Amino acid sequence: MANTLPGQETYLLSRDRAETERLNKQHQFLIDLLGYQYIHPSIPKNQLTSIADLGTGNGIWLKEIARTLPSSIPPLHLQGFDISAAQFPPQPQFHGPGKTWILLSVHDILKKWPAEHRGRYDFVHIRLLTAALKTESYKVALKNVRELLKPNGYIQWEEVDITTFHTDKTPQIPAIAKMSQSVRHAMIKMGMSPFAPQRVYEELCSSEFRNIHRQTYTTKGKEYLHDAAQEWVVGVIRALVVPSMVITGEAMYEAHAKSQAEVLVAEFEEHCKHALPLINFTVVVAQL
Ligand SMILES: C[S@@+](CC[C@H](N)C(=O)[O-])C[C@H]1O[C@@H](n2cnc3c(N)ncnc32)[C@H](O)[C@@H]1O
């Protein structure tokens, strides 16, 4: 359920086993959507020596990038940070052809990094913090990213927005409008932005970063992604619409929200028999 304690972090999602499994499946879907480009083509991959993933969750992105990047001497330094260790693998792990160690540490993106991490990374990756950051926190997060980066280092920040529940068929069914509205209202009530990709882009444009690119990868016209996109949206309904309905007061208890969400899942799945879920996943890259 949503983690919202007074004076502590704000996070709409849970960190249980089901959520860890959802993050793994989500990773595969998003990488398929990007056409297996982990790092945007505008960034020279062969010059990277030290990579940080912020809000790393269970570290799936780092694990996969270790598998896809060629081995190097000295080995790549791969470091994940998350405000919670709840989804970290139990043991430190090493992966990929270079048997690269993946180091995972607890750290809040909104706090200053310890001295050993400042100026250490030439690439910082962030994916899907939309349910974790308040609108005003994007600026603070980017300021802290700047401190992690070496001069000329790159950031790649990837987000989806509230259009997530839509499909390529009009008119949209009422279940879609209801889900969008629940999540939008819950996010606004929590002080979050339902338009994270735009927020990231605008903050980068008003910061010291340069060479800013924004590219949206969509499922539109990609029928081969139909089943994976549908499964992803259903995962989002269970993970995000449920806490949203409790926050907005549409459901009194989590159990009540869960049963309402299952009705929405059934309606969405029925609709998708003749419709393609339209997912817009935006990648914003910039250089210091
Ligand atoms: C939706 S998950 C995404 C995980 C991972 N980036 C991925 O794409 O698989 C968001 C993650 O951000 C973490 N998070 C939330 N607030 C954070 C903060 N202030 N600083 C660092 N991590 C945070 C959560 O604990 C969670 O692991």
Tens-digit pLDDT string for the chain (288 aa)? 444 444 455 888 999 999 999 999 999 999 999 997 899 999 998 888 899 999 999 999 999 988 887 777 667 889 999 999 999 988 766 665 566 778 999 999 999 999 999 999 999 999 999 999 999 999 999 999 999 999 999 999 999 988 889 999 988 899 999 999 999 999 999 999 999 999 999 999 999 999 999 999 999 999 999 999 999 999 999 999 999 999 999 999 999 999 999 999 999 999 999 999 999 999 999 999
Cα separations in angstroms, 26 against 109, 121, 194: 22, 26, 19
Q: Tell me the per-residue pLDDT of 93-114, one tens digit each, with 9 for 90 and over.
A: 666 556 677 899 999 999 999 9
- Residue 11 Cβ < 6 Å to ligand 1: yes
Residue nearest to atom 9 of ligand 1 (CA): 23
Q: Is the CB of 176 under 6 A from ligand 1?
A: no
State if residue 235 touches ligand 1 by the CB under 6 angstroms criterion.
no
CATH 3.40.50.150 fits domain 3-287 = yes
Cα 195 to Cα 161: distance, rounded to the nearest angstrom: 5
In whole angstroms, what is the distance from residue 195 CA to residue 186 CA?
13
Domain borders along the chain are 3-287
Strand partners, 3: 11
